[in-house]
Amino acid sequence: MRRPLVAGNWKMHGTRASVAELIEELRQLEFPAEVEVAVFPGSLHIAQVVAGLAAGAVKVGAQNCAVQAEQGALTGELATSQLVDAGCELVLVGHSERRLILGESDEAVIRKFAAAQVAGLVPVLCLGETREQREAGATLDVVGAQLAAVIDALGVESLAKAVVAYEPVWAIGTGLTATPEQAQQVHAAIRAQVAQADAEVASGLRILYGGSVKAASAAELFGMQDIDGGLVGGASLNADEFGAICRAAGN
């Protein structure tokens, strides 16, 4: 039985004041015990969120990390050991905004994934195709290649302590959501690809869907066989909406 995970990616949003408000609102919510909940604030606010949500049910993650676990001369980056020291338990790796806007390569994604695990963070590996790639019928090839890059470099066993998030780029922040059937098709392909290498790792692997998830669409998406929760961007900035999405994952 895979425990659903709902992860809120706050992206480059928030001030100390607005983050304080959101923390307070999250503290008022009751999350279903069977659902794991995590939020990913911007780096500046990680300490504030860790302190504000202390001893609560919500885990804190980072949106990015350096390619190494150890501290060192790498201006502007955060070593994964520093993220652990700050109270993070997870980290997003390979979000499409980093791959496509900031030019993050598969090689960097692999190194960040490995650095996360060295430090004891759970990497949330983001995969997804662009609209052009979907229209060209290349979705499964693109997502399969992004996943294969990690499996080939780090071994399928590296996925035993990781989470995968399928996030079609055309659905992120656009209000367009993949249909449950479209998402399920890709999730099933991801699980089958992992199963080819290790059936046990595949059956335990949590695969989240991300892309304009809202309370109204969450239950149907999360009801699909291979969808184990969501990576939620915009809607995670609204505590009530985020709470409703978390409850949908518990049903």
Mind telling me the catalytic residues? 95, 167
| Shortest Cβ 244–ligand PEP spacing (Å) | 14
- The residue among 79 and 142 lying less far from ligand PEP, judged by its C-beta, is 142
- The residue among 6 and 159 lying less far from ligand PEP, judged by its C-beta, is 6
The residue with its CB nearest to ligand PEP is: 233
| Shortest Cβ 181–ligand PEP spacing (Å) | 19
242 contacts 236 by C-beta, under 8 angstroms: yes
Please state, in angstroms and rounded to a whole number, the distance separating the CA atoms of residues 182 and 65: 30
- The residue among 49 and 232 lying less far from ligand PEP, judged by its C-beta, is 232
Give residues in contact with ligand PEP (CB under 6 A).
9, 11, 167, 172-173, 210-213, 231-235
**What secondary structure, in 3-state letters, does the chain show?**
CCCCEEEEECCCCCCHHHHHHHHHHHHHCCCCCCCEEEEECCHHHHHHHHHHCCCCCEEEEECCCCCCCCCCCCCCCCCHHHHHHHCCCEEEECCHHHHHHCCCCHHHHHHHHHHHHHHCCEEEEEECCCHHHHHCCCHHHHHHHHHHHHHHHHCHHHHHHCEEEECCHHHCCCCCCCCHHHHHHHHHHHHHHHHHHCHHHHHHCEEEEECCCCHHHHHHHHCCCCCCEEEECHHHHCHHHHHHHHHHHHC
Alpha carbon dihedral 237, 63, 228, 36, in 10-degree steps, equals -70
Beta pairing partners, 69? none
| Shortest Cβ 37–ligand PEP spacing (Å) | 15
| Shortest Cβ 237–ligand PEP spacing (Å) | 9
- The residue among 174 and 196 lying less far from ligand PEP, judged by its C-beta, is 174
| Shortest Cβ 193–ligand PEP spacing (Å) | 21
- The residue among 81 and 217 lying less far from ligand PEP, judged by its C-beta, is 217
